[in-house]
Amino acid sequence: MTPQEFVVIQRHQTKAPVDITALATELGVAVFDSYDLPPGISGKICLDPTADSGYSITVNANEPYRRRRFTVAHECAHFLLHRSKIGDELTDDALYRSEKLNTQEEFQANNKAAELLMPRKLMNDYIRKGIVSVSQLADEFEVSEPAMRVRMRYLYQLESM
């Protein structure tokens, strides 16, 4: 990740929910919804000469809104972390697995996606305000409750929720 990309990310993490599509767009990655992706495919990132960065993300429009937000973040994470491995196209299934990347790289992309959507500083701000339930935080950040549980466990080393 370049210093310029870091600045773009910080600029979009000042309030919840993070506008992940605007963040991707400012990184130069075009984002499209598609009803044509097959069931079981959440999204993909591929070469796109019309996009400023040379890449675009396509998200399965048949999936729920919060799922689509995480998919955009996950594909942005691949752009930031694994650009050299994308090739012409990198497709992620419903479990965010790709044939081109190993489990560790997918784990890294999931963690980066969570950081993009649920940054530590904003999470701490909400918790200081007394908003501590998984459900409320998931609503504020427009993510799924399971995604919020995982993020809270990671940030605060909680045993179970």
The string of pLDDT tens digits covering residues 125-135 is 999 999 999 99
Question: 135 in a domain, yes or no?
Answer: yes
Question: 161 in a domain, yes or no?
Answer: no
Domain that holds residue 93: 3-156
Structure tokens at 64: 């729920």
Of the candidates 75, 79, 67, 104, the residue with the CA atom closest to the CA atom of residue 91: 75
Identify whether the C-beta of residue 61 lies closer than 8 Å to the C-beta of residue 46.
no
- pLDDT given for residue 134 in this prediction: 96
Rounded to two decimals, the pTM is 0.92
- Give the separation between CA 157 and CA 41, rounded to whole angstroms: 31
User: DSSP string spanning 122-143?
Assistant: HHHHHHHTT---HHHHHHHHT-
Identify whether the C-beta of residue 88 lies closer than 8 Å to the C-beta of residue 60.
no
pLDDT digits (tens, 9 = 90+) for 67-88: 999 999 999 999 999 999 888 9
Identify whether the C-beta of residue 15 lies closer than 8 Å to the C-beta of residue 122.
yes
Q: How many domains does the chain contain in total? A: 1
Question: 114 in a domain, yes or no?
Answer: yes
- pLDDT given for residue 16 in this prediction: 97
Question: 86 in a domain, yes or no?
Answer: yes
Question: 91 in a domain, yes or no?
Answer: yes
Identify whether the C-beta of residue 30 lies closer than 8 Å to the C-beta of residue 50.
yes
Tell me the percentage of the chain whose pLDDT exceeds 90. 79
Question: 44 in a domain, yes or no?
Answer: yes
pLDDT digits (tens, 9 = 90+) for 113-156: 999 999 999 999 999 999 999 999 999 999 999 999 999 999 98
- Give the separation between CA 47 and CA 101, rounded to whole angstroms: 17
Place 95 in a pLDDT band, splitting at 50, 70 and 90.
Answer: low
Q: Residue 94: is its pLDDT beyond 70?
A: no
In the three-class reduction of DSSP (H, G, I as helix; E, B as strand; rest coil), residue 15 is classed as coil
Question: 83 in a domain, yes or no?
Answer: yes
Question: 30 in a domain, yes or no?
Answer: yes
- pLDDT given for residue 103 in this prediction: 81
- pLDDT given for residue 3 in this prediction: 95
